Amino acid sequence: MSNYKAITVQENNKIVLVTINRPHALNALNNDVFEDLIRLFNDDLDPRKINGVIITGAGEKAFVAGADIKEFLSLDAQKARELSKRGHDIFAVIENFPVVVVAAVNGFALGGGCELAMACHLRVAHANARFGQPEVNLGILPGYGGTQRLVHLIGKGRAMEMIMTGDMIDGTTAHTFGLVNILCEAGAEVATATKLIEKIAKKAPLAIAETIKAVNAHFRHGKDGYQTEIDSFGKLAATEDFREGATAFIEKRKPGWKGL
């Protein structure tokens, strides 16, 4: 793996742990973080060789407390649009990554941090984690897909309220809203995310990849999610893994997946 400026990357048992590593700034997303994430997801990670990715924040206080406010003060409209597009692009790569990506939310997940967590497929957090889209306090709106993904995850009314008030919600509320998949003890976020990935890794990898594609198709303009599901189903039904899964069931044994 490359040398990164603002993230650390460790691989253990085919699970890659990505830590946003700017604890002095509550892991705010600056240019370095974006460059690192782009290189990691576009160039360095090989989805065929891993079972999942966990994204978390360094320290005990924050997952990511937003985009780095100190960096975006001097932006003009054109530059802001370019940066928003860059953020949209890398978050879309994460959202469509063909192995499961889990956000281990270990504290504040605000603004761009909440948006990063939402770009992941699944989220685990502790009860006192804090989620929010406080951009209106700064005179802007979520710029990395938050107006869309928050609606997808918690519904229009709740999303409108969170974005227009800028209020934070705690992990328990986020869990009730469907923003958090699993609540865990503070400090157990990465371990909980690891267990979740290990569970998913026991399933057929191509079926997981096609699931990510088909579910995401529902939210993409110009995509017919039902048709995507039909195409994915056809593709999977012709795989060796489907034959193996069905045979293993009949023979009352565990399947051995090949990813073929």
User: Beta strand 15-20 with 7-12: parallel, antiparallel or unpaired?
Assistant: antiparallel
Q: Is 26 in the site for ligand DAK (CB under 6 A)?
A: yes
- Residue 222 CB, shortest distance to ligand DAK, in Å, is 24
Stretch that binds ligand DAK, among 8-16, 91-99, 133-141, 232-240 (CB under 6 A): 133-141
Of the residues 18, 121, 125, 135, which one makes contact with ligand DAK according to CB under 6 A: 135
Shortest distance, CB of residue 123 to ligand DAK, whole angstroms?
A: 17
248: left (phi over 0), alpha (psi -120 to 50) or beta: alpha
Nearer to ligand DAK by Cβ, of 30 and 194: the residue is 30
Side chain identity, residue 126: H
> Does 110 contact ligand DAK by CB under 6 A?
yes
Contact between 163 and ligand DAK by CB under 6 A: the answer reads no
Pick the binder of ligand DAK from 7, 16, 17, 28 (CB under 6 A). Answer: 28
Is the distance from CB of 74 to CB of 38 less than 8 angstroms? no
What are the residues whose beta carbons fall under 8 Å from the beta carbon of 195, sequence distance 6 or more? none
In angstroms, rounded to a whole number, what is the distance separating the alpha carbons of residues 51 and 73?
A: 39
Using the rule CB under 6 A, is 143 a contact of ligand DAK?
yes
User: Could you count the other beta carbons within 10 Å of the beta carbon of residue 166?
Assistant: 15
Q: Which of residues 59-98 bind ligand DAK (CB under 6 A)?
A: 65-70, 72, 75, 80, 83-84, 87
- CB of 66 or CB of 205, closer to ligand DAK: 66
Q: Which range binds ligand DAK by CB under 6 A, 50-58, 104-112, 170-178, 232-240?
A: 104-112
Phi/psi at 215 (nearest 5 deg)? -65, -45
Decide if residue 154 touches ligand DAK (CB under 6 A).
no
Q: For residue 250, list its beta bridge partners.
A: none
> Which residues have a catalytic role annotated?
115, 135
Q: Are strands 122-126 and 130-132 parallel, antiparallel or unpaired?
A: unpaired
Residue nearest to ligand DAK (CB): 111
CA distances from 110 to 7, 27, 135, 221 (A): 18, 11, 9, 27
Task: By CB under 6 A, tell whether 33 contacts ligand DAK.
Answer: no
**Alpha-carbon dihedral sign for residues 218, 224, 228, 229:** positive
Provide the minimum distance between the beta carbon of 29 and ligand DAK in the complex, in angstroms, as a whole number. 7
Q: Which residues contact ligand DAK by CB under 6 A?
A: 25-26, 28, 65-70, 72, 75, 80, 83-84, 87, 108, 110-112, 134-135, 138, 143-144
